[in-house]
Amino acid sequence: MKSTITIDVELDESRVPQHITWNATESTASVPQAANAVMLALWDARDKTALRIDLWTQNMMVDEMADFYYQNLMTMADTFERATKQKELVDEMKAFAQSFYKKFQEAQMRENNAG
């Protein structure tokens, strides 16, 4: 069996992402789905390096970016736990994610109150 995931990125004249859509052969969606950001990480076992593509559109709001990062950190911790059973490390990763998100929210409150 083979599954294909396609990510299409529409760029402006400065090569800044304007629209991101994706679809997958295993998806129940009949049309490509819109996204404001995408993070793709691939592991190169030969070179022992992570290859990353991080894209976001100009429509991505700062608070959405914080939510996106928080949710990615939490799900990366869940994946790490399933793969390694290292609960103590996972708890530390999740605590960091929660601290990151709380600090972001506090900074937003300060900016909103200052403006």
Report the pLDDT averaged over residues 28-55.
Answer: 95
Q: What's the length of the chain?
A: 115
Which single residue is written with the structure tokens 């790490």? Answer: 80
- Asked if pLDDT for residue 67 goes beyond 90, the answer is yes
Specify the pTM: 0.87
What DSSP state is assigned to residue 113?
Answer: H
Residue 33: per-residue pLDDT: 96
Residue range 78-112, pLDDT digits in tens: 999 999 999 999 999 999 999 999 999 999 999 88
Residue-by-residue DSSP string for 48-109: TEEEEEEEE-TT--HHHHHHHHHHHHHHHHHHHHHHH--HHHHHHHHHHHHHHHHHHHHHHH
- Asked if pLDDT for residue 115 goes beyond 90, the answer is no
- Asked if pLDDT for residue 42 goes beyond 70, the answer is yes
Report the 10 Å Cβ neighbour count for 114.
6
CA–CA gap between residue 4 and residue 92 (Å, rounded): 34
**HEC-encoded secondary structure of 5-59:** EEEEEEECCCCCEEEEEEEECCCCCCCCEEECEEEEEEEECCCCEEEEEEEECCC
